[in-house]
Every structure is written in structure tokens, then in C-alpha cells.
Amino acid sequence: MTVSALIVAAGRGRRAVLAGSSGGAADSAQEEMPKQYRPIGGAPMLVHAIRAFGEHPGVDQVLVVIHEGDQARYDEIAQGLSPKLLPAVVGGSQRQDSVRSGLEALAVSPPDQVLIHDAARPFVDSALIQRVIDSLKTTMGALPCLPVTDTLKRSKNGIVTDTVDRTGLWRAQTPQGFRFQDILDAHRAAAGLSMNFTDDASIAEWYGLPVAQVEGSEANQKVTTNEDFILAEARLTGAAHLDGLRVGSGYDVHRFGEGDALVLGGVSIPHDKALSGHSDADVVLHALTDALLGAIGDGDIGAHFPPTDQQWAGADSSVFVKDAVRRVKDRGGCILNADVTILCEAPKIGPHRDAMRGRIAELLGVDTGRIGVKATTQEGLGAIGRGEGIAAMATVSVNLQRS
């Protein structure tokens, strides 16, 4: 039993370059790149499909049908890719013509079965390929299908006319598997007819070959539009998700002065000293403010609230945090979490930890579970260790929307 994979990569789809194109210099450079050769996760889309079949133990040879203008491009990417790879064949103007060219090339030394696959489905996996091969043991044609889950509408001139009953409807994928001689005969019979077949199963159906359903794969989506490429890239590298991620850090220290309470993390704590400073000297909220500003690269607390400005004398430091949160939101940002470490010998932080977490969560507009408050002593070392003041460090992560 020999199995050949036939990958169709001869199309000149313009959807990926037209959708969302702003017509800049970068776009025109991209426009010259057919989508099969556009990189996803560091490799051209076509390479992912070739690898999937080349690495499958049940596939003996892989043949790619290319556009006549892509020979040099193809040779470059195909170099050393798989020992199963045959020299490429040039396709025709319609998908059907391209598949037939591939089948005729394989017919010189015909395999028992052929799996016909679109290069625009780079996420075909080994399990799906195996399901198609297994199905061909008992059927003449095998078609990967997924159920239609969206409600289907028919419309005319932008107005919905009715709802289509989706019972018995399926979404067809590739690879579509056939006994080689059958599908070659069907394609030869269909050649020259103006039937506009969009896949090989429809040619098999037209020719009277029974085609069995095989379970498709949600991951095996077609990559067609620019948005598809962005999602595909995100899936392979995680880059799109991480692109909006920002982390900021902040640090502050205030010395002790006379008093009977101090404010930490927005919570008033009775103590035999107070923290001295221009505002209420809440080191935790000051460090947190700097972390928020740092995450969006927007200066620091001193730049926005100068200590020389009398209006901030004795101010509740939540004002500073709220202002920084507004700045994050103005940039389309969403705060993911914040973590604070307080450095002091006294007072004990533990009894006030949850109150601080609650207040900080309230100021940042997030769940308390996203706020960490920890404390450590300095083992008597340095100014903090001698009990001369309190320091705080804060880290904040922010998700900015992709621009």
C-alpha cells in the first residue's frame, strides 16, 4: 500500500493582502509574496503542510503543485525539507486544473492512495492524516468534516431573508483521501467542464464515487485573511498575546518621624511612629504608582505630582494611584496583577495584609486574588534594619491592546 500526499499551492489568492491593507510601502512588499510563502511562526505556510505529511510514517511521497511564477521561491524553501518530497509540478489557473496536473504527474508511477491537501491549511496534524488513511481501508473516498455550529442565514442585498436549516450540514476540510485511480479517472472526466468544483470530494460525488465522512480537526483551519495570519502566528509563537504585555516596577522609601500611626497600602496602622513625607507618606502606594507608570513608560510619581506643589501636602496617596490607573486605561490597558514587598522591622504587616490587598484591588479595579502583599525584615542590616524607615517595592503587569 503506497500513499502519496498532493499539496495544492498554486493559487494566487488576494484576500490576505487585500483585507486590512493600508496601501503602505510594507504592504506592497507583502503583496508580492503569495500567501503560501508568507511566514507563520518563522517558516513559510507551505513548509508547515509539507512537514506534516513528510513526517507522517504512513505517507510515502509528497508532491507539491506550485504556481508557474513560484519555482525559485519553492526551490528555496523545499531545499532539504523532506526526503519524501518529489520535484514540484506547475499547476493551472483553477484549483481543479492544478490537482489534475499533480495527479497526472503521480500517474507515471501510481500510488494506491492519494491525500489531496490545501497549502492554506498549515495546521493539519498527524492524527487527522491517519484518520483519512485508515478510512481508505474500507471506503473509496474520505472527507474530514466538522459540524456547523453557527446558525446559518440566507440574505439578499444585506437583508436577511431566512434561516437555513443546518441539519445534515458539515464543513469540509482537507486532506481529502481517495483511491488513486478513482480520483484520477474522476478528474480526467471532469476536465474541461465548467462545473467550478471547489474541492476534490465534489468531483468524486459528481463522478459517483462514495465519499465517507472522517472527523475533521478544529485546529486545521484555513489561513486566508490577514487576520487568519495574525491568529496563526499567535498560535505558533504566542507573540501576539505577549505583544501587549507590559511589566513595571516601583520602589520607594520614607523615614520615620513622630506620630502614632502610619499609612501602608491605603490602610492606617497604629504604631509608635509615623512615616514622614510630603503626602501621607504611604510607601506602598507610591511604589505601586511608579510601577503602574513604569509599565506604560509614563515618567514617575515625582514628575506628575511634584513635591514642591503644595496641593499634595498631606494628600491621601490613593490620588496618585488613581491617576496612574487612569493613564493605563487611557492607553487601552488592563491591569493584570500587582505584587508588593514591604521592607521593615516594624510594625507587623501580617495582620493588615488582607486589608491592604483589598484596598489596592479596589484602587486598581481588579480582584483581590490578583494582588500580592508580602513583607520582610532586613535582619537588622542597614537603615531599614535599624528601624529608621520603611521601604516598599512593587511590580505590576498590564495588558495593552494591540495597536
Which residues contact Mg ion (rule: CB under 5 A)? Answer: 252, 286
Nearer to Mg ion, 200 or 252 (CB): 252
Q: How far apart are CA 86 and CA 48, in angstroms?
A: 16
Q: How far apart are CA 264 and CA 270, in angstroms?
A: 11
Q: How far is the CB of 302 from Mg ion (least distance, A)?
A: 8
Mind giving me the DSSP string for 330-345? HTTEEEEEEEEEEE-S
Q: How far is the CB of 252 from Mg ion (least distance, A)?
A: 4
Residue nearest Mg ion, CB atom distance: 286
Nearer to Mg ion, 233 or 252 (CB): 252
Nearer to Mg ion, 183 or 288 (CB): 288
Q: How far is the CB of 309 from Mg ion (least distance, A)?
A: 14
**Which residues have C-beta within 8 Å of that of residue 124, sequence separation ≥ 6?**
49, 52, 53, 117, 174, 175, 217, 220
Q: How far is the CB of 49 from Mg ion (least distance, A)?
A: 58
Q: How far apart are CA 89 and CA 98, in angstroms?
A: 9
Q: How far is the CB of 300 from Mg ion (least distance, A)?
A: 10
DSSP 168: T
Q: For the chain, first and last CA: distance in Å?
A: 52
Nearer to Mg ion, 86 or 301 (CB): 301
Nearer to Mg ion, 118 or 252 (CB): 252
Q: Where are the beta strands (DSSP E) in 49-190?
A: 61-66, 89-90, 113-118, 141-147, 152-156, 159-164, 170-172, 176-179
Backbone angles phi, psi at 332, to 5 degrees: 75, 20
In the three-class reduction of DSSP (H, G, I as helix; E, B as strand; rest coil), residue 171 is classed as strand
Instruction: HSE, CB side, 13 Å, CA atoms: give it for residue 123.
Output: 20
Q: How far is the CB of 283 from Mg ion (least distance, A)?
A: 6
- Closest by alpha carbon to 17, among 171, 224, 247, 319? 224
Nearer to Mg ion, 373 or 391 (CB): 391
Nearer to Mg ion, 211 or 344 (CB): 344
Q: How far is the CB of 393 from Mg ion (least distance, A)?
A: 13
**Which residues have C-beta within 8 Å of that of residue 49, sequence separation ≥ 6?**
7, 9, 117, 119, 121, 122, 124
**Grid-cell match 490578583, residue found:** 370
Q: How far apart are CA 196 and CA 41, in angstroms?
A: 33
Q: How far is the CB of 23 from Mg ion (least distance, A)?
A: 49
Nearer to Mg ion, 145 or 356 (CB): 356
